[in-house]
Protein backbone atom coordinates (compact mmCIF):
# COMPACT_ATOMS: atom_id res chain seq x y z
CA UNK A 1 0.00 0.00 0.00
CA UNK A 2 1.48 3.36 -0.93
CA UNK A 3 1.69 6.37 1.39
CA UNK A 4 -1.19 8.21 -0.26
CA UNK A 5 -3.56 5.32 0.44
CA UNK A 6 -2.29 5.04 4.02
CA UNK A 7 -2.65 8.78 4.62
CA UNK A 8 -6.15 8.71 3.18
CA UNK A 9 -7.29 5.83 5.43
CA UNK A 10 -5.91 7.18 8.71
CA UNK A 11 -8.61 9.85 9.34
CA UNK A 12 -11.36 7.45 8.38
CA UNK A 13 -10.20 4.79 10.85
CA UNK A 14 -11.29 7.02 13.74
CA UNK A 15 -14.61 7.79 12.07
CA UNK A 16 -15.23 4.10 11.40
CA UNK A 17 -14.39 3.21 15.00
CA UNK A 18 -16.74 5.91 16.31
CA UNK A 19 -19.50 4.77 13.95
CA UNK A 20 -19.16 1.13 15.03
CA UNK A 21 -19.47 2.14 18.70
CA UNK A 22 -22.42 4.41 17.91
CA UNK A 23 -24.15 1.68 15.89
CA UNK A 24 -23.62 -0.82 18.72
CA UNK A 25 -25.18 1.59 21.23
CA UNK A 26 -28.19 2.30 19.01
CA UNK A 27 -28.67 -1.42 18.38
CA UNK A 28 -28.70 -2.07 22.14
CA UNK A 29 -31.40 0.59 22.58
CA UNK A 30 -33.63 -0.76 19.80
CA UNK A 31 -35.75 -2.96 22.14
CA UNK A 32 -36.40 0.06 24.37
CA UNK A 33 -37.49 2.11 21.35
CA UNK A 34 -39.75 -0.70 20.08
CA UNK A 35 -41.44 -1.03 23.48
CA UNK A 36 -41.80 2.74 23.90
CA UNK A 37 -43.36 3.00 20.44
CA UNK A 38 -45.88 0.27 21.27
CA UNK A 39 -46.66 1.90 24.64
CA UNK A 40 -47.27 5.29 23.00
CA UNK A 41 -49.58 3.89 20.33
CA UNK A 42 -51.38 1.82 22.99
CA UNK A 43 -51.98 4.90 25.13
CA UNK A 44 -53.37 6.94 22.24
CA UNK A 45 -55.81 4.35 20.91
CA UNK A 46 -56.77 2.68 24.21
CA UNK A 47 -57.62 6.05 25.77
CA UNK A 48 -59.83 6.88 22.78
CA UNK A 49 -61.64 3.52 23.02
CA UNK A 50 -62.04 3.91 26.79
CA UNK A 51 -63.70 7.31 26.35
CA UNK A 52 -66.03 5.86 23.71
CA UNK A 53 -67.14 3.01 25.97
CA UNK A 54 -67.57 5.15 29.08
CA UNK A 55 -69.59 7.81 27.25
CA UNK A 56 -71.57 5.47 25.02
CA UNK A 57 -74.62 7.72 24.40
CA UNK A 58 -72.27 10.52 23.31
CA UNK A 59 -70.32 8.08 21.17
CA UNK A 60 -73.47 6.95 19.40
CA UNK A 61 -74.48 10.56 18.86
CA UNK A 62 -71.09 11.38 17.31
CA UNK A 63 -71.22 8.38 15.00
CA UNK A 64 -74.77 9.26 13.93
CA UNK A 65 -74.31 12.99 13.35
CA UNK A 66 -70.60 13.91 13.21
CA UNK A 67 -68.57 11.01 11.90
CA UNK A 68 -69.55 9.84 8.46
CA UNK A 69 -68.13 6.35 8.29
CA UNK A 70 -68.72 4.96 4.82
CA UNK A 71 -70.57 1.67 4.29
CA UNK A 72 -71.53 1.10 7.96
CA UNK A 73 -74.51 1.98 10.12
CA UNK A 74 -73.52 4.38 12.92
CA UNK A 75 -74.07 1.82 15.69
CA UNK A 76 -71.87 -0.76 13.97
CA UNK A 77 -69.18 1.81 13.29
CA UNK A 78 -69.17 2.87 16.96
CA UNK A 79 -68.90 -0.72 18.22
CA UNK A 80 -66.18 -1.61 15.71
CA UNK A 81 -64.16 1.54 16.42
CA UNK A 82 -64.28 1.12 20.20
CA UNK A 83 -63.51 -2.61 19.96
CA UNK A 84 -60.60 -2.02 17.61
CA UNK A 85 -59.15 0.77 19.72
CA UNK A 86 -59.32 -1.29 22.91
CA UNK A 87 -58.49 -4.71 21.49
CA UNK A 88 -55.92 -3.98 18.81
CA UNK A 89 -54.05 -1.48 20.97
CA UNK A 90 -53.83 -4.11 23.74
CA UNK A 91 -52.40 -6.60 21.26
CA UNK A 92 -49.82 -3.98 20.24
CA UNK A 93 -48.83 -3.33 23.84
CA UNK A 94 -48.18 -7.03 24.36
CA UNK A 95 -46.47 -7.31 21.01
CA UNK A 96 -48.80 -10.11 19.96
CA UNK A 97 -49.81 -10.42 16.28
CA UNK A 98 -48.30 -6.97 16.00
CA UNK A 99 -48.41 -6.56 12.25
CA UNK A 100 -52.09 -7.54 12.17
CA UNK A 101 -52.93 -5.14 15.02
CA UNK A 102 -50.93 -2.31 13.43
CA UNK A 103 -52.73 -2.86 10.13
CA UNK A 104 -56.14 -2.73 11.81
CA UNK A 105 -55.33 0.45 13.71
CA UNK A 106 -53.81 1.99 10.58
CA UNK A 107 -57.07 1.38 8.72
CA UNK A 108 -59.11 2.73 11.65
CA UNK A 109 -56.90 5.82 11.74
CA UNK A 110 -57.29 6.37 7.98
CA UNK A 111 -61.07 5.99 8.19
CA UNK A 112 -61.13 8.55 11.02
CA UNK A 113 -59.27 11.07 8.87
CA UNK A 114 -61.53 10.40 5.88
CA UNK A 115 -64.85 10.27 7.71
CA UNK A 116 -64.62 13.16 10.15
CA UNK A 117 -64.70 16.52 8.39
CA UNK A 118 -64.27 18.41 11.67
CA UNK A 119 -60.58 17.57 12.09
CA UNK A 120 -58.37 20.61 12.41
CA UNK A 121 -54.96 20.92 10.79
CA UNK A 122 -53.41 20.15 14.19
CA UNK A 123 -55.41 16.95 14.73
CA UNK A 124 -54.79 15.79 11.17
CA UNK A 125 -51.05 16.04 11.93
CA UNK A 126 -51.59 13.79 14.96
CA UNK A 127 -53.34 11.22 12.77
CA UNK A 128 -50.50 11.38 10.22
CA UNK A 129 -47.98 10.80 13.03
CA UNK A 130 -49.96 7.82 14.34
CA UNK A 131 -50.25 6.44 10.81
CA UNK A 132 -46.49 6.75 10.30
CA UNK A 133 -45.74 5.05 13.63
CA UNK A 134 -48.19 2.26 12.85
CA UNK A 135 -46.47 1.84 9.49
CA UNK A 136 -43.16 1.38 11.31
CA UNK A 137 -44.73 -1.36 13.44
CA UNK A 138 -46.32 -2.92 10.37
CA UNK A 139 -43.00 -3.26 8.53
CA UNK A 140 -40.58 -3.54 11.46
CA UNK A 141 -42.62 -5.68 13.86
CA UNK A 142 -42.78 -5.51 17.64
CA UNK A 143 -39.11 -6.11 18.42
CA UNK A 144 -37.49 -8.62 20.73
CA UNK A 145 -39.37 -7.58 23.87
CA UNK A 146 -42.69 -8.92 22.64
CA UNK A 147 -44.87 -11.99 22.63
CA UNK A 148 -44.30 -12.28 18.88
CA UNK A 149 -40.54 -12.64 19.46
CA UNK A 150 -41.10 -15.04 22.36
CA UNK A 151 -43.40 -17.17 20.18
CA UNK A 152 -40.80 -17.16 17.41
CA UNK A 153 -38.09 -18.28 19.83
CA UNK A 154 -40.35 -21.08 21.15
CA UNK A 155 -41.13 -22.24 17.62
CA UNK A 156 -37.44 -22.21 16.70
CA UNK A 157 -36.48 -24.19 19.83
CA UNK A 158 -39.24 -26.77 19.35
CA UNK A 159 -38.30 -27.35 15.69
CA UNK A 160 -34.54 -27.58 16.17
CA UNK A 161 -33.04 -31.08 16.03
Give the CA count within 13 Å in the CB-facing half-sphere of 62: 18
What does pTM read for this prediction? Answer: 0.85
* pLDDT for the residue 7: 59
Query: What is the reported pLDDT for 16?
Result: 85
- 153 found inside a domain: yes
pLDDT tier for residue 67 given thresholds of 50, 70 and 90: confident
Tell me, yes or no, whether 108 lies in a domain. yes
* Number of structural domains found in the chain: 1
Evaluate whether residue 16 is within a structural domain.
no
- DSSP readout, 43-57? HHHHHHHHHHHHTHH
- Whole domain around residue 92: which residue ranges? 30-159
- Over residues 138-160, the pLDDT tens digits come to 999 999 999 999 999 988 877 66
Any domain includes 10: no
Residue 103 near residue 138, CB atoms below 8 Å:
yes
pLDDT of res. 1: 54
List, for residues 27-65, the tens digit of each pLDDT value. Answer: 899 999 999 999 999 999 999 999 999 999 999 999 999
Residue 19 lies in a domain: no
| Cα angle 129, 135, 108; round to 5 | 75
Amino acid sequence: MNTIQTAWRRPFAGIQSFYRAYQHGVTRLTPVFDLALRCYIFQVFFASGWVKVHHWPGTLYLFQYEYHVPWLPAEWAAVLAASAELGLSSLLLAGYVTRFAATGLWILNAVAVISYPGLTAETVKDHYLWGALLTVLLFHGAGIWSLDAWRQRQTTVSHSP
